Amino acid sequence: MSRTTLWQRKERYSGSNNFFLAKPIFSTRSKIGILGGIGPEATAHFYTLLIRKLQRKGLIKCNMDFPQIIVNSIPAPELIRAEVSGKELRPYVKGLRELDEFGVDFIVMVCNTIHLFHNRLQKRMKTPILDLKEEVRKFLMLKDIKSVLVLGTPLTVRKGLYEFENIATYKPDEREMKQLVEVIFNFNKEGKTYPAKVKTLCDKYLGKGAETVILGCTELALILDRQVPAIDTIDVLAEATIARLNEKRIQKSDPMY
108-153 pLDDT tens trace: 999 999 999 999 999 999 999 999 999 999 999 999 999 999 999 8
126 in the same domain as 69: yes
155-182 pLDDT tens trace: 999 999 999 999 999 999 999 999 888 8
198 in the same domain as 154: yes
User: Count of domains in the chain?
Assistant: 2
122 in the same domain as 46: yes
Say yes or no to pLDDT of 23 above 70: no
Residue 14 lies in a domain: no
Contacts of 84 (CB under 8 A, 6+ apart): 113, 117, 155
2: pLDDT confidence band, cut at 50, 70 and 90? very low
Residue 173 lies in a domain: yes
Measured from the Cβ of residue 152, the count of other Cβ atoms closer than 10 Å reads 29
Contacts of 173 (CB under 8 A, 6+ apart): none
Residue 6 lies in a domain: no
pLDDT given at position 69? 97
Residue 171 lies in a domain: yes
Across 76-80, 187-191, 200-204, 247-251, least confident range: 187-191
Instruction: Tell me what the pLDDT averaged over the chain comes to.
Output: 85
Q: Name the residue range of residue 160's domain.
A: 134-231
174 in the same domain as 109: no
pLDDT given at position 254? 40
206 in the same domain as 144: yes
Q: Alpha carbon 160 to chain centroid distance? A: 18
202 in the same domain as 77: no
Residue 63 lies in a domain: yes
Q: How far apart (Å, rounded) are the C-alpha atoms in residues 36 and 47?
A: 10
Residue 104 lies in a domain: yes
Residue 91 lies in a domain: yes
241 in the same domain as 122: yes
Residue 10 lies in a domain: no
Q: 195: domain CATH number?
A: 3.40.50.1860
